[in-house]
Amino acid sequence: MNLAVSKRVDWEGQRTDWRDRLYRFYNSQAFVAFLFLLVPVLLLAALKIWPVFYNLYLSFTRYELFEPPRFVGLKNYKYVFTNKTAFQSIINTLLFTIEAVPVGTALALIIAKLLDQSIRGRVFLRTLYYLPVVSSVVVSAMIWRWIYSPQHGLLNYFLGLVGIPPQHWLNDPNLALISLVIVTIWGSIGSNMVIFLAGLQDIPRDVIEAARVDGASPVQSFLRITVPLMRPVILFVVVTFTIGIFRNFGLIFMLTQGGPFNRTNTMVWEVYQNVFGYLRLGRGAAISVVMLVIVLILTLISFRVLRERQGA
Amino acid sequence: MATLRANTDGTFSRREASLPLILTYIFLIIGAIVMIMPFVWMVSTSIKPDREIFGDSIRWIPTELDLQNYSDAFEQTNMPRLFVNTVAVTAVAVASQVLLGSMAGYAFARLHFRGKMLIFFTLLTTMMVPFEVLIIPVFLLIKFFPLAGGNDILGQGGTGLINTLGGVMFPNFVSVFGVFLFRQFYLNFPKEIEEAAIVDGCSRVGVYWRILIPNSKPVMGTMALFAFLWSWNDFLWPLVVVKEDSLKTIQLGLSVFDQEQGTAWAELMAASVMAVVPVILLYIFLQRFLVSGGLTSGLKG
């Protein structure tokens, strides 16, 4: 085609040549990449990259929205680690994680293992276990508020059957956090189970079969073979689950609003309170930065462990 | 007790149920009952008259059907308005995340250009940053959005995109997860077909539009389902952006309804049923996309 074009020297031919070059530019990899990436990359830069740095900047300022941010050094961080309520939110987040993650992860792994065999109705059962994940946090919270209701709630009714007096689940300082933990575990088993089911596909069947032939009980083979081989997947679930708890805002908003006596005041709630309650954006930013640092450390740990496994 | 067991070759053989199998079933079924009991309780409450809700004993199946709760909840929450808003926000999020995700995924999977790895790994890093941590800057971005809601070109003077559906949609236009999902899919797509099309004179944009897009249905289904779930169930961001009742999404309307109604449990549960049923139906029909596409490809990277 190019040969034919270059042989023609008339006006018509020159135009074809010009068009040809334009087309080649339009069709170049760099231009098409620019065309395809412009909008997504600009949006992600504005929504994911710039905010990280601007948040960091805000954490060193006093900012109440009506006047420009004023630099205050480390004052906000000092506040986060010395103010009783703010520091309590860090402790509460960690407590929440410690109470929810081990139990929730273990349950999800056991259920995944049991569903990972050719039993009847496994697809149906899997769907049932996954339903709480599909339901929104607002709907889940609403249902559980009704279940936890002191007078006519389902939970107190069941406890009454075995002679336990009714509890004020969400208003009792000693029970509020554990009540949220129960909802969180219920809501996360499905998604963690799906990840475990995917991970279980990679475990060679013949290893399990060999153990069975050698006389290992199902429990032994689970503890000695499945759990060690699934270590990276377990770690992945622990990290994503923990991050999910750090992000868990809706449940606290709907069920306890951080109370009673700050017992369910987690970091994400503390950020929300500072920013949209008291209009202290600098303090909120500082708490967010602390949150982000914890999340990043957890993620990096998981990457490291995953890489070690792949390298071995 | 004997059960039929599916063999790998598709036949069935009868075998005696072993003790572990029975225990497995008991455990799984009790677990499943615990998992769905809250939903059953929600539906049960939503169709009961009040005197059965506040009676002394628990009734799972009401003696008489009371659908009044649904019409009450429908009117009091202004459900049609909430639905329209949520569908609009969700539809834009789904369409935009599928389109932009597939475009960026194609560029990263197939095209060579300077700085590709740098951009790609920068985006990869942002996946570790939860949205909740960035809520302050993103809120300020929406509030000081230039030339919107009375703002001047520098974003001063007005309310920006606060209290608009555009403001609710804005952070959901593109997801990094989607970019990686599509990239992964296109990396595994046979190159020969595209090369043949290019030899035949098809442009790169044409290859994308005529060959990759029509063949991306599974990954589009996965992306669409995830985008739908995120957007439909999103709570914190609409809460922060929307103040006016006429702009509220279902989740937001429901959460406020909860505070206003106090203990009108029947109406609350009826409203919850209406909010959750579309999602559950969609999930049941599309769950193969969720399980096959999304999570496994995310894991294996």
Which domains are delineated in chain A?
2-58 (no CATH), 75-311 (1.10.3720.10)
Contacts of B53 (CB under 8 A, 6+ apart): A152, B45, B265, B266
* Residues A90-99: tens digit of each pLDDT: 999 999 999 9
Q: Distance between CA atoms of A285 and A274, rounded to whole angstroms?
A: 9
A-B C-beta contacts closer than 8 Å: 254
Instruction: Identify any residues that bridge with B5 across adjacent strands, giving them in sequence order.
Output: B13
Chain A partners within 8 Å of B38 (Cβ): 132, 140, 143-144, 147, 186
**Token digits for B213?**
């897009």
The answer to whether ipTM exceeds 0.90 is no
* Residues A86-141: tens digit of each pLDDT: 999 999 999 999 999 999 999 999 999 999 888 888 888 988 999 999 899 999 99
Of A37, A128, A246, the CB nearest to B107: A37
Q: Where are the domains of chain B?
A: 2-69, 77-300
Q: pLDDT tens digits, chain A, 312 residues: what are they? A: 444 444 444 555 556 788 888 888 888 888 999 999 999 999 999 999 999 999 999 999 999 988 889 999 999 999 999 999 999 999 999 999 999 999 999 999 999 999 988 888 888 898 899 999 989 999 999 999 989 988 888 999 899 889 899 889 999 999 999 999 999 999 999 999 999 998 898 888 888 888 888 888 888 888 998 999 898 889 989 998 999 999 999 999 999 999 899 999 999 999 999 999 999 999 999 999 999 999 999 888 877 877 766 554
Asked whether the beta carbons of residue A249 and residue B235 sit closer than 8 angstroms, the reply is: yes
pTM value is: 0.86
Query: Residue A70: helix, strand or coil by DSSP?
Result: strand
**Cβ(A89)–Cβ(A267) under 8 Å?**
yes
Asked whether the beta carbons of residue B39 and residue A119 sit closer than 8 angstroms, the reply is: no
Question: Closest-CA residue in chain A for B98?
Answer: A40
CATH domain B77-300 topology:
MetI-like fold (1.10.3720)
* Residues B56-72: tens digit of each pLDDT: 777 788 777 878 889 98
Q: Distance between CA atoms of A270 and B132, rounded to whole angstroms?
A: 12
Q: pLDDT tens digits, chain B, 301 residues: what are they? A: 445 555 555 455 555 567 878 888 999 999 999 999 999 999 998 988 877 777 777 778 877 787 888 998 888 888 899 999 999 999 999 999 999 999 999 999 999 999 999 999 999 888 889 999 999 999 999 999 988 777 888 778 778 899 999 999 999 999 999 999 999 999 988 888 888 888 888 888 999 999 999 988 888 988 998 899 899 999 999 999 998 989 999 999 988 887 766 678 888 899 999 999 988 888 888 777 665 544 444 333 3
